Amino acid sequence: MNQLAKKSDNPLPKEIFKKGLELHHYANTAYPLNGTKVFKPFRTPNNEINQAATDTWQKVDELGLYIHIPFCKKRCLYCEYTVLPENTEELHENYVQLVLKEISLYKQLIQNKKTVGLDIGGGTPTALSLKNIDNLVSAVLKNQILDEKFDISIETTPYIAATEPEKIKQLKQIGINRISMGVQSIDPKILEEVGRIDNKTKILKQATENIRNADFKRFNVDIMYGFANQSIESWLATVQFTVDLDPEYITFYRNRYKGTRIEHDSKIVTLDEVNRQYDLAFDFLATKGYKENFGKNTFSKVKGDPGTSAYLTKRVIEGTPYLGLGLGAQSFSDTILSYNLGAASKKLNKYQERLNNNQFPLQDIYQIPTDEVMAKTICVSFYFGYINKQSFKKKFNENLENIFKEEVNFLTENNLMEHDGDLFKLTKKGKDNLTGIIPLFYSNRSKLNLLNYQPK
Ligand code: SF4
């Protein structure tokens, strides 16, 4: 333990800020930095997991839903998600049966509750047959009360969108109204370095055409920056190409190295470089009608539409609880954070075993105190580049400025964040120093953990 951590239980904002910048590949919107360590005291014993899950979801009256599909043709080297090594139709069928079973276990707890959105992610959810996707959607939405802004969003690879136009059409017909395509980069050299399938520009154009022919009006393209050896020219060529595809939304993801097979590469990627990549793309997108506030990751050219799915929008702005279904899925409510089996092992056997015994397939369930719920809620809100003070007050019955008095003062005095009506938002300087800002809202135990964190 370093000197500072020994000295005080309440580290100073400037120390945390400095450490967050030092750990700029780690102190991002994913909270906490080291869940197993920080949340250890709150872990529910295995024999109480079923009861804890039941009590939690019974109490929740509004939620978002997420279904995880862990299949990809090839695992990218930067992948931080739960993806299975096998990818056969037989396995797809078995997997869907298991998720349906999981849905049926939760149904008695969540049905007739207000549901803000459904995201189907992965992995590659469009790897499943249309029938399987439809079965999952119907089962999970049966007897749910849909919020007026409810939508269903699905992720696809360019290859599937380009080669299975009928499936894409039918996705729209079964009520999925937002589709997100992972392009990441058009640079073959970068794609090779990160072990990703090279979808030639012809495929990307065909995929876009098929998505438009299927009448999707909410189309997002994901692109990534912050890779080692990714030149500005390479990044801007991807941004330019993506703009030419003319999607309603473009989302930038900064590569997160933690726990991935290319974690060692993070050492050669500097904060200045990633800030420059973001800034150049940010300015360019603004000239093309995709205008957003500093720090936001999804750029929309539709007025009044943040571009994210309803599930994610509510999660980010209001901290709405979400239930994740499927292998390794994460769930978060006002009192618990949980991970399904498979999150650590990336294997199906235990998830399957638990469901076969009619038990929730949970690996860990942490009953966390309010400071942790606040920390996680705020960290995620930086996905939009701001904290909505009104939402914070509604959720926690407290003013943000009271709970984080020192931190808020530090941020305003240093021109890192500013008040703008209900929003406490990043300035340009704040955007450049985001990973110093985010941990200011960590719980004290998490701040101490950050100060002692040793990246691999
Ligand atoms: S496409 Fe996404 S989920 Fe699939 S292996 Fe690559 S990073 Fe992981």
Residue 30 to residues 40, 217, 244, 272, 435, Cα–Cα distance (Å): 17, 30, 31, 21, 11
Top mutation candidate among 69, 73, 74, 76 for ligand 1, by most atoms within 8 Å of CB: 76
Residue 34 to residues 13, 27, 342, 345, 382, Cα–Cα distance (Å): 20, 10, 18, 17, 19
* DSSP alpha helix (H) spans, 3-87: 3-7, 13-22, 35-38, 49-59
Distance of alpha carbon 130 from alpha carbon 69, whole angstroms: 13
Secondary structure of residue 156 in the 3-state scheme: strand
Q: Are 115 and 147 in contact (CB under 8 A)?
A: yes
Structure tokens at 401: 């400025």
Distance 85 CA to ligand 1 centre (A): 11
Amino acid at 166: E
Structure tokens at 46: 């295995």
Secondary structure of residue 443 in the 3-state scheme: coil
Nearest partner of 220 among 143, 89, 312, judged by Cα: 312
pLDDT-flagged residues of the chain (< 70): 1-9
Confirm or reject: Cβ of 35 under 6 Å from ligand 1.
Answer: no
**For residue 187, what pLDDT is reported?**
97
- Closest Cα to atom 2, ligand 1: which residue? 123
- Closest Cα to atom 3, ligand 1: which residue? 123
Domains annotated on the chain, with CATH: 3-38+378-451 (no CATH), 47-314 (3.20.20.70)
- Closest Cα to atom 6, ligand 1: which residue? 76
Amino acid at 171: L
DSSP codes of every residue in 392-417:
HHHHHSS-HHHHTHHHHHHHHHTTSE
Q: Are 206 and 160 in contact (CB under 8 A)?
A: no
Distance of alpha carbon 41 from alpha carbon 367, whole angstroms: 9
What letters, b where the CB count within 10 A reaches 16 and e where it falls short, cover 156-182? bbbbbbbebbebbbbbbeeebbbbbbb
Distance of alpha carbon 433 from alpha carbon 358, whole angstroms: 47
**For residue 9, what pLDDT is reported?**
64
Distance 324 CA to ligand 1 centre (A): 18
**For residue 36, what pLDDT is reported?**
82
Nearest partner of 378 among 392, 365, 367, judged by Cα: 392
Helices (H) and strands (E) in the chain, counts: 21, 15
Q: Are 128 and 163 in contact (CB under 8 A)?
A: no
**For residue 199, what pLDDT is reported?**
86
**For residue 10, what pLDDT is reported?**
78
Query: What is the pTM (predicted TM-score) of this model?
Result: 0.95
Distance of alpha carbon 53 from alpha carbon 369, whole angstroms: 16
Nearest partner of 136 among 119, 151, 148, 116, judged by Cα: 119
Distance of alpha carbon 390 from alpha carbon 18, whole angstroms: 29
Distance of alpha carbon 96 from alpha carbon 54, whole angstroms: 23
**For residue 455, what pLDDT is reported?**
86
Distance of alpha carbon 153 from alpha carbon 179, whole angstroms: 6
**For residue 91, what pLDDT is reported?**
97
Distance of alpha carbon 383 from alpha carbon 30, whole angstroms: 10
Give me the sign of the Cα torsion angle 341, 347, 350, 354. positive
Q: Are 351 and 98 in contact (CB under 8 A)?
A: yes
Distance 196 CA to ligand 1 centre (A): 8
Secondary structure of residue 96 in the 3-state scheme: helix
* Per-residue model confidence as pLDDT tens digits over 350-386: 999 999 999 999 999 999 999 999 999 999 999 999 9
Confirm or reject: Cβ of 76 under 6 Å from ligand 1.
Answer: yes
